[in-house]
Every structure is written in C-alpha cells, then in structure tokens.
Amino acid sequence: MRIIAGPALAAMSAAQLAIAQLVYMGFPGLPIALNNWNLPLVYGGVTYMGAAGLGSISPIEDSPGEIKGLQFEMSGVPIENLALALADSTIVQGTPISIRLAIVSGAQVLDAPLDWTGLIDTMSIQEDGNTCSIAVTAESTAVDLLRGTSLTTSDADQRFLYPGDRAFEYIVSQANVPIVWPTKQYYIDSR
C-alpha cells in the first residue's frame, strides 16, 4: 500500500489536477530525463527537461497474462543533442527506462508514483540533415514474471539456495513408497 503525502492528496482533491509524465532513460554516463510539459520539472534530484509536442509514447496496455512493450518516438531532435545522447552509450539494449505519473502544483512535483518500468530493446535513428527522429522500443520488466525459473524442488537446488538444508535429501528415496497407517484396532489393543 502506498501512502500519498498531504500536498499531493490535496492537489488530487482539487477541481483540476495537473499531471505530467516523467520519462527517465538511464544510459550509462549520460541519462536522459524528459517530461511532457514545456518547462523543466525536478523530482528526486533529477531535472526532467520539457519536451512537449516533440514526441509520443504508446499507451500502456497490459492485460492479464499479456505484457506489451512500449514505443517512444521523439522528433525534431537537433543533431548535436543526438550525438551528445549517444556518445557514452555503446550498448543501447538493456538500458533501464521508467515512466512516472507526476502530480504537479505550479512547477513543483508533489508526488510521482512509478507507472511503468522496462528495458530498452531497440533504437532507430532517422535524420534529414538538420533534425532527426529517434524511435525507441522497450520491453516491460513485468515480462520476467511470466518467465519460469530453472530451479526445481530437488535436493541439489535446495542446497544451492540454502546450504546445509537437508529438507529434500530423502525425497527421491521416499517417492512412490506407500504410507501405511495403523487401523483403529491397533490403538485399542495397545492400551
């Protein structure tokens, strides 16, 4: 359960609620932090630069048993900024990305709960000489919940997880061995 702070709760109760999406891409050496407003917003010590009208994020449409990735597109990026953004990131795949839904009052972020997390899968760049467009696809970290585990309920796996635990030591030798319980007569005769 998440506790919402007083100012954020008051802002949510107001007639109009101001919200912003905060997108953080953790490229090694040069993280990129953007928001969908025209002005910079600060949350958690990170300044999310305003990028209103420059890009789009596909809607988050997860359903039970199916977790979809997201697509981000940002157009009108100057070539200098593109070079700066990609200078330190030799490996794009696997870069963490998060989206927060921020509750804003004025230009101050009151609260920004985490809305979506994932890892960047691909990044394609198209340029026309003066500007360029960047398209990023990302896979949700919730996909890991659908993947199975390679561990089983065997003695070897139990000892791998908990060294010294012998709980499953006799599982194999006791499998398919019938368990015989005494009849009621046994307890009557033993008195």
pLDDT digits (tens, 9 = 90+) for 55-106: 777 777 766 767 778 887 877 666 655 654 564 445 677 889 999 988 888 7
Instruction: Name which of 27, 25, 22 is nearest 48 in CA terms.
Output: 22
Instruction: Say how far apart CA 55 and CA 36 lie, in whole Å.
Output: 8
Q: What pLDDT score does 98 carry?
A: 92
Cβ atoms < 10 Å from Cβ of 179: 5
Over residues 34-60, mean pLDDT: 82
Mean pLDDT on 171-187: 84
- Tell me how far apart the alpha carbons of residues 176 and 71 are, in angstroms, rounded to a whole number: 52
pTM above 0.75, yes or no: no
The identity of residue 93, as a single letter, is Q
The full set of domain ranges for the chain reads 6-146, 155-189
pLDDT value of residue 43: 92
